[in-house]
Amino acid sequence: MTALVVPLVLLANGLAAGVLVGTQLGGWPLLAALPPRRYVHAHAFFATRYDPFMPVCFLGTVLGDALLAAWAPQTAARWAFGGSVPLVLAAVVISVTRNVPVNRWIRSLDPEALPPDFADRDPRPHWGVWNRGRCVLAVAALLANCLGCGLLL
């Protein structure tokens, strides 16, 4: 079982962390620099591309890590895989409570008819901080998973 689950966990966690790192390196700087109308259009485009992909990756990581934390053949590896679970769950909580509501709101806006108070409600400063937090958590989880994998080799 370990030989099947470890690669799947590394794949799911690696994809999730990679998407978030890519967002931090390219997507976020672009979104932060755009004028409001173009930002709303671009954000809605990005958000619809990542929304079932990221939840599947996070869920696969949590389920696989939970299995490995219970059944990996070495205690140290079990601790490493188990240590990834709260990191990914924290990223999921941020996603559900912070990023998803922003994504929904932005998708509901017409870029050509923004609310008059958009400048006051512009979610970019907060969204950027929360997205960075998810990125750090996903990469930390990936490091824990790589450690667990290395301990099994």
Report d(CA 8, CA 60) in Å as an integer.
8
Residue from 100, 98, 111 nearest 36 by CA:
111
Domain chopping of the chain, boundaries: 2-152
> CA angle, 111 as apex, 109 and 117 as ends, to 5°?
70
- Are 114 and 40 in contact, with CB atoms under 8 Å apart? yes
Per-residue pLDDT at 47 exceeds 90: no
pTM comes to 0.95
pLDDT digits (tens, 9 = 90+) for 64-108: 999 999 999 999 999 999 999 999 999 999 999 999 999 999 999
pLDDT band at 130 (very low <50, low <70, confident <90, very high): very high
Per-residue pLDDT at 51 exceeds 90: no
pLDDT digits (tens, 9 = 90+) for 11-40: 999 999 999 999 999 999 999 999 999 999
Residue from 12, 147, 148, 16 nearest 69 by CA:
148
Distance, first Cα to last Cα, the chain = 15
Return mean pLDDT, the chain: 96
Burial class (CB in 10 A: 0-12, 13-18, 19+), 92: buried
Dig out the tokens for 45 from the structure. 């485009």
- The letter for the amino acid at 108 is S
- The letter for the amino acid at 36 is P
pLDDT band at 116 (very low <50, low <70, confident <90, very high): very high
Rg (CA), the chain: 18
pLDDT band at 48 (very low <50, low <70, confident <90, very high): confident
